[in-house]
Amino acid sequence: MKAVMIKEYGDASVLNYTGVKRPEPKADEVLVKVHVAAVNPVDWKMRDGLGEMFGLKLPIILGCEIAGTIEDVGADVKKFKTGDEVFGYISLARNGGYAEYVIAKESEIVKKPEDIDFENAAAIPVGALTSWQAIFGAAKLESGQKILIHGAAGGVGSMAVQLAKAKGAYIVATASGKNEEFVKDLGADEIIDYTRVKFETVVKDVDVVFDTIGGDTQTRSFQVLKKGGFLVSTVSPPSLESAEKFGVKAEMISVQPNAEQLAEITKLAEEGKIKTHVETVLPLSEVKKAHALSEGGHTRGKIVLQLLSES
């Protein structure tokens, strides 16, 4: 089968589109024929060397967000059968989704709704699960509370806006002016153009800050929280000293596969409460271009890789 493998860490030049042996599922696993694999910033960060920090052993097939069809099931698998259309977030510790076939656990994937195509299904898991685990799992956001979402036009931030809106929260979002209408359509109640206004001068007494930016943005965010509020970040550990100073809680989260949460998110997608925006579709063989676009940081929607049958 065809796959994108790295044998060393580095820039996009280490991405090797090549032939590899097709994996075989164990008793508690399924084999998925991948139709689409989404590209996420964590992919090129892993390629750059983050994978070594996480203890991954080279060579590595990158990609954690996939949509496809069940090709084979292990003897102990109960939830799925051959031919089921599925999508999910898979563990890189085992194998990656930049490949024609990938191994998945039952706890990592869910069935794909008929009215959502493979491209849009592949664009859901990482952004939605990250947001879910951050704002509901860590910060315990509830209906009627106010949340400030940074980077609301991004892949994670845009999902956070929609999930918070579905929960009944009041949403203040930061985004550049060019993305104002896009973020408003997602459900934000207030939008702050961070290129023109310092958010901390106009925002106060929020229950939750969802930080997808880090750095100075994260530091300034403490002052907009009410006492007992919660700052949750996806990019860097918040200062516990600052949290204590402002009388709030703070935490960094790393997304984990969770089929039960993804099933809840899927229901929202079926109800039209969660939408994706796929901006670029490229063949797997053009993975270097996909990474360059992602690293450039100027894409609003998702970048996905389409896999053709080349085994």
In the numeric block, which tokens belong to residue 40? Answer: 């996420």
Per-residue pLDDT of the chain (311 residues; tens, 9 = 90+): 999 999 999 999 999 999 999 999 999 999 999 999 999 999 999 999 988 888 889 999 999 999 999 999 999 999 999 999 999 999 887 889 999 999 999 999 999 999 999 999 999 999 999 999 999 999 999 999 999 999 999 889 999 999 999 999 999 999 999 999 999 999 999 999 999 999 999 999 999 999 999 999 999 999 999 999 999 999 999 999 999 999 999 999 999 999 999 999 999 999 999 999 898 999 999 999 999 999 987 667 799 999 864 43
Alpha-carbon distance 82 to 80, whole Å? Answer: 7
Q: Does residue 184 contact residue 173 with C-beta atoms inside 8 Å? A: no
Helix (H, G, I), strand (E, B) or coil at 297: coil
Helix boundaries (H) for the chain:
41-45, 51-53, 118-122, 125-131, 155-167, 180-186, 215-221, 240-246, 259-270, 287-296
State the pLDDT at residue 308: 62
Q: Helix 259-270 to helix 155-167 angle, to the nearest 10 degrees?
A: 70
β-pairing verdict for 249-252 and 225-233 = parallel
Burial class (CB in 10 A: 0-12, 13-18, 19+), 132: buried
Predicted local confidence at residue 311, as pLDDT: 39
pLDDT score, position 298? 64
